[in-house]
Amino acid sequence: MPDGSDSKRSLEERYETWRQDAYDAAAKRGFVRKDEFPTSDGEPTKPLYMPSDAGVETESYMEDLGFPGEFPFTRGVQATMYRGRPWTMRQYAGFGTAAESNERYKMLLKAGQTGLSVAFDLPTQMGLDSDSALAAGEVGKVGVAIDSIEDMNTLFAGIPLDKVSTSMTINATAPILLALYQVVAEEQGVSLDQLRGTIQNDVLKEYIARGTYIYPADASLRLITDVFGYCKDHLPRWNTISISGYHIREAGADAVQEVAFTLANGLTYIDAAVEAGLEINAFAGRLAFFFNVQNGFLEEVAKFRAARRLWARLVKERYPDCEDRNLRLRFHSQTAGCSLTAQQPDNNVARVTIQALAAVLGGTQSLHTNSLDEALGLPTERAARIALRTQQVINSESGVSDFIDPLAGSYVIESLTDSIEEKARALIGKIDDLGGVVRAIEAGWIQRQIMDTSYRFQKGVDSADIEVVGVNVHVAESEPPTDIQKIDPAGARDQVARTRALRESRDGAAAQARLDELQEAARGTDNLMPYIVRCVRARCTLGEISGAMKDVFGAYRETIVV
């Protein structure tokens, strides 16, 4: 019997023989020999993966993988995964007025969508009312305009909030939108302990990659942890934050950077909450995450598995008292908007299908599939229905829901999972050395990492080293006409009129009193959520509430990165 070194040497020799024979056979069939294909972070891939690449011959194999639903959750956060219940099909939607978006939500729910996901327009994201001079030209354009409780009531009219789960993609004004949602539920007669959903509430990634911030970082962290504490006592089933790698990836990050920067942000939120006096097990179980799904199918599957394992290990290392059930990285995923092309837009159906399948095989808890026409404009109703049907076909017809972590044990998947975890941990270590996420943002370090990666990728597309079908390969001479969803400008004018009418009809003195109380609380240390809720009940507008806090906290000024 040969010893271990002889066995290893024999395996390496057999590998080299296989490799040469494979290339020779490929050459005879006219294929070009290419040794390495890079992953998104530039790491070369191997032509063939062996058990040793994945560490499956070592005693750490079961320690790394374990069982689904058990620490370190590599194989999924639930023991039965989709055999127990399918992922939530949560199509992101919102445009124009609250009434228009309400119609789209009802169409999607009728078509089989199982959760709502609200897109807000830019003024709402930035804490501006629709009649602000700074909102001109942006009202209702990239999401729905919400100025007040009246708009929120219209948005969810006829939709029972005790029966649906709602995700709201909102950050700097997240506490205000959550308060609006709560008051809508109260006015529907729905008990707060029945409300299920997620508020994105992730401002750190706004400083890194997106830009819809309002307040300085310390004030933003205070508001985020105030939401944690408030929901613990009042909305126990609500996910208090969706820590987002999606926008970091859209800004140009690679898979490793997406995992590293997202988890580093998550650790920062935990630290801030603990420093504010919250006990780790009181809020950690309500943290959720939001990831991008790109075209690199196998790398994306591995990315999700690595992120789950790394998160569980990092939190356990830093907070040993955190219970295993609160170490589960639960995540929503969305197919990559930046991968969609205006050229030959029908090709986007194939891209979205590949990405959606990667999310499912990676163990997502909920999923949004982009529409084929989103590189041209807001999704049409037909395109949105096709996107939803894509998920339904995967769930009902592909058979993948019958298996739990079906790619586990694949030499490629396990090797990529280990590699992404190791590299992401190293990046998080560098952030720690810089003094943490906030200091790294202020120094522009994280932004520079993303900019460098984005530049390398774009160079690859421009040179056609990275192929994009319909853009730099297989280009068509002419494009078929495509219907594009258009926003009626009359809707913006009507929205402005409704907001002004609300101010005229409400009890102005009561509204001002609530705003004054909020400002006074902001100068102190009280949890601000109860004050925001009282402002909403008094029919204060989103812009007024946001502005009252801005007068106390000031505004964030971005670090210029060159």
Give the sign of the dihedral formed by CA 200, CA 206, CA 209, CA 212. positive
**456: exposed, middle or buried (Cβ count in 10 Å: 0-12, 13-18, 19+):** middle
- Is residue 361 a contact partner of residue 403, using CB atoms and an 8 Å limit? no
Cα atoms found within 13 Å of the Cα of residue 341, Cβ hemisphere only: 21
**In this structure, is residue 36 part of a structural domain?**
no
**In this structure, is residue 304 part of a structural domain?**
yes
> Rounded to two decimals, what is the model's pTM?
0.89
Distance CA 212, CA 215 (A): 10
**In this structure, is residue 231 part of a structural domain?**
yes
Give the sign of the dihedral formed by CA 436, CA 438, CA 442, CA 446. positive
From residue 66, alpha-carbon distances to 131, 328, 374 in Å are: 55, 14, 40
Q: Hey, what amino acid is at 161? A: L
pLDDT at position 558 is 80
pLDDT at position 1 is 39
How many residues would you count in the chain?
562
Judging by DSSP bridges, how do beta strands 241-244 and 196-199 pair with one another? Answer: unpaired
Which residues touch 132 (CB under 8 Å, ≥6 apart)? Answer: 123, 543
Local structure of 241: helix, strand or coil: strand
pLDDT at position 60 is 59
| Number of other CB atoms surrounding residue 467 within 10 Å | 11
Torsions phi, psi of 264, nearest 5?
-60, -40
Torsions phi, psi of 362, nearest 5?
-85, -10
From residue 426, alpha-carbon distances to 192, 290, 303 in Å are: 41, 21, 15
Distance CA 231, CA 208 (A): 26
Domain that holds residue 321: 60-463
DSSP annotation of 506 reads S
pLDDT at position 7 is 54
**In this structure, is residue 524 part of a structural domain?**
no
pLDDT at position 90 is 86
| pLDDT, one tens digit for every residue, the chain (562 residues) | 345 455 555 667 777 787 777 777 767 766 655 555 677 887 777 766 666 666 665 455 667 788 889 999 999 999 888 988 899 998 888 888 999 999 999 998 998 888 898 999 999 999 999 999 999 999 999 899 999 999 999 999 999 999 999 999 999 999 999 999 999 999 999 999 999 999 999 999 999 998 999 999 999 999 999 999 999 999 999 999 999 999 999 999 999 999 999 999 999 999 999 999 999 999 999 999 999 999 999 999 999 999 999 999 999 999 999 999 999 999 999 999 999 999 999 999 999 999 999 999 999 999 999 999 999 988 888 999 999 999 999 999 999 998 899 999 898 999 999 999 999 999 999 999 999 999 999 999 999 999 999 999 999 999 999 999 999 999 987 666 567 777 778 889 999 999 999 999 999 999 999 999 999 999 999 999 999 999 999 999 999 999 999 999 999 988 666 5
Local structure of 534: helix, strand or coil: helix
Whether the bond between 72 and the residue before it is cis, its omega within 30 degrees of 0, is yes
Domain count, the chain: 1
Distance CA 80, CA 541 (A): 45
**In this structure, is residue 501 part of a structural domain?**
no
Assign residue 413 the CATH number of its domain.
Answer: 3.20.20.240
Local structure of 128: helix, strand or coil: coil
Distance CA 212, CA 166 (A): 21
**In this structure, is residue 504 part of a structural domain?**
no
**158: exposed, middle or buried (Cβ count in 10 Å: 0-12, 13-18, 19+):** exposed
Local structure of 116: helix, strand or coil: strand
Torsions phi, psi of 480, nearest 5?
-70, 150
Which residues touch 124 (CB under 8 Å, ≥6 apart)? Answer: 143, 144, 145, 146, 147, 170, 173, 177, 542
**In this structure, is residue 445 part of a structural domain?**
yes
Distance CA 445, CA 470 (A): 35
**In this structure, is residue 195 part of a structural domain?**
yes
